[in-house]
Amino acid sequence: MPDWRHRIDYPRDGRRGVRRWLPSWRQLLLLAGGAFGLLVATAGVMYATTDIPTDLNSFATQQNNVFYWADGTEMARTGLVNRQDVPLDQVPDQVQWAVLAAENETFYSDPGISFQGIARAVYRMGSGGDTQGGSTITQQYVKNAYLNQRQDFSRKLDEMFIALKLDQQVSKEEILGGYLNISWFGRGSYGIERAAQAYYGKDVSELDVSEGAFLASLLKGASLYDPATSADNHARAVERWSWILDRMVKIGKLSAADRAKYTRFPEPRPVPPLVGLNGQTGYLVDLAKSYVQSHADISPARFDLGGYQIYTTFEKPRETALTEAVETAEKGLDPEGRPADRNVHLGAASVATDGRILAVYGGPDYLKQGFDNANTVNVPVGSAFAPLVYAAGLGQGVQRERDGGRTSVGPTTKYNGDNGVELQTPEGPYWGRDGKKAKTANDGGRNWGSVSLRTAVEQSVNGPVQQLGMDVGLGNVRRTALDLGLLPESMGDLTPAYTLGNSTPSAIRLADAYTAFDAAGRRTDPYSVSSVSQNGSDVPVEKPKAVQAVTPAVAAEVDTALHGAVKDGASKEVRQAAPDGAGKTGTTQERDAGWYVGYRGSVTTAVTLFRLDLKTLELLPLDGVGGAAPNAPDSAIPAGIWAAYAKDAAH
Report the C-alpha dihedral over residues 411, 415, 420, 425, rounded to 10 degrees. -100
In this structure, the strands spanning 547-548 and 582-587 are: unpaired
Q: Per residue, what are the HEC states of 458-475?
A: HCCCHHHHHHHHHHHCHH
Residues 419 and 466 in one domain: yes
Q: Smallest Cα–Cα separation from 67: which of 290, 326, 355, 364?
A: 290
Residues 36 and 110 in one domain: no
- Are 598 and 605 in contact by the 8 Å Cβ rule? The answer is yes
Give the CATH number, domain containing residue 127. 1.10.3810.10
Residues 184 and 129 in one domain: yes
Decide: helix, strand or coil at residue 258: helix
pLDDT for 15 equals 64
pLDDT digits (tens, 9 = 90+) for 535-582: 778 999 999 999 999 999 999 999 999 999 999 999 999 999 999 999
Distance CA 352, CA 423 (A): 37
DSSP states along 509-539: HHHHHHHGGGTTTEE---B-EEEEEETTEEE
Residues 21 and 98 in one domain: no
Residues 94 and 180 in one domain: yes
Burial class (CB in 10 A: 0-12, 13-18, 19+), 267: middle
Range with the poorest average pLDDT among 49-63, 101-115, 222-236, 589-603 = 49-63
Q: Which contiguous run of DSSP H or E holds residue 77?
A: strand 74-78
Query: Do the domain assignments include residue 400?
Result: yes
Q: Smallest Cα–Cα separation from 120: which of 110, 129, 108?
A: 129
Is residue 219 scored above 70 in pLDDT?
yes
User: Average pLDDT for residues 435-452, to the nearest whole number?
Assistant: 93
Domain end point (choices 259, 291, 318)? 259
Distance CA 44, CA 28 (A): 24
pLDDT for 276 equals 74
Residues 164 and 231 in one domain: yes
Distance CA 279, CA 359 (A): 13
- Are 247 and 179 in contact by the 8 Å Cβ rule? The answer is no
Distance CA 434, CA 541 (A): 50
DSSP state of 592: -
Confidence of residue 127 (pLDDT cuts 50, 70, 90): very low
Query: What's the pTM?
Result: 0.77
Domain end point (choices 231, 259, 287)? 259
Q: Smallest Cα–Cα separation from 7: which of 21, 22, 26?
A: 26
User: Average pLDDT for residues 106-112, to the nearest whole number?
Assistant: 85
Residues 179 and 45 in one domain: no
Is residue 466 scored above 60 in pLDDT?
yes
Query: What are residue 253's phi and psi, to 5 degrees?
Result: -105, 0
pLDDT digits (tens, 9 = 90+) for 586-624: 999 999 999 999 999 899 999 999 999 878 889 999 999
Confidence of residue 170 (pLDDT cuts 50, 70, 90): confident
Residues 117 and 9 in one domain: no
Residues 10 and 125 in one domain: no
Q: Smallest Cα–Cα separation from 618: which of 384, 359, 343, 391?
A: 343
Residue 214 to residues 137, 191, 247, 522, Cα–Cα distance (Å): 18, 14, 13, 55
Distance CA 411, CA 390 (A): 9
Q: Smallest Cα–Cα separation from 515: which of 350, 321, 383?
A: 350
Range with the poorest average pLDDT among 300-314, 515-529, 560-574, 585-599 = 300-314
Query: Do the domain assignments include residue 634?
Result: no
Residues 94 and 143 in one domain: yes
Domain end point (choices 472, 503, 534)? 503
* Domain carrying residue 491: 382-503
Range with the poorest average pLDDT among 143-152, 322-331, 337-346, 419-428 = 143-152
Query: Do the domain assignments include residue 512?
Result: no
Distance CA 226, CA 294 (A): 41
In the chain, the percentage of residues whose pLDDT exceeds 90 is 64
Query: Do the domain assignments include residue 63?
Result: no
pLDDT digits (tens, 9 = 90+) for 497-507: 999 999 999 99
Residues 12 and 113 in one domain: no
In this structure, the strands spanning 189-190 and 82-83 are: parallel
Residues 429 and 474 in one domain: yes
pLDDT for 85 equals 86
Query: Do the domain assignments include residue 619?
Result: no
Query: Do the domain assignments include residue 367?
Result: no
pLDDT for 321 equals 96
Residue 247 C-beta-side C-alpha neighbours within 13 Å: 21
Total residue count of the chain as it appears in this document: 651
Is the model more confident about 12 or about 634? 634
Query: Do the domain assignments include residue 269?
Result: no
pLDDT for 582 equals 97
Residue 351's CB: how many other CB atoms inside 10 A? 34
Is residue 42 scored above 70 in pLDDT?
no
Mean model confidence pLDDT for the chain:
87
Confidence of residue 424 (pLDDT cuts 50, 70, 90): very high
Residue 446 to residues 390, 441, 462, Cα–Cα distance (Å): 21, 9, 10
pLDDT for 145 equals 75
Number of structural domains found in the chain: 3
Is residue 63 scored above 70 in pLDDT?
yes
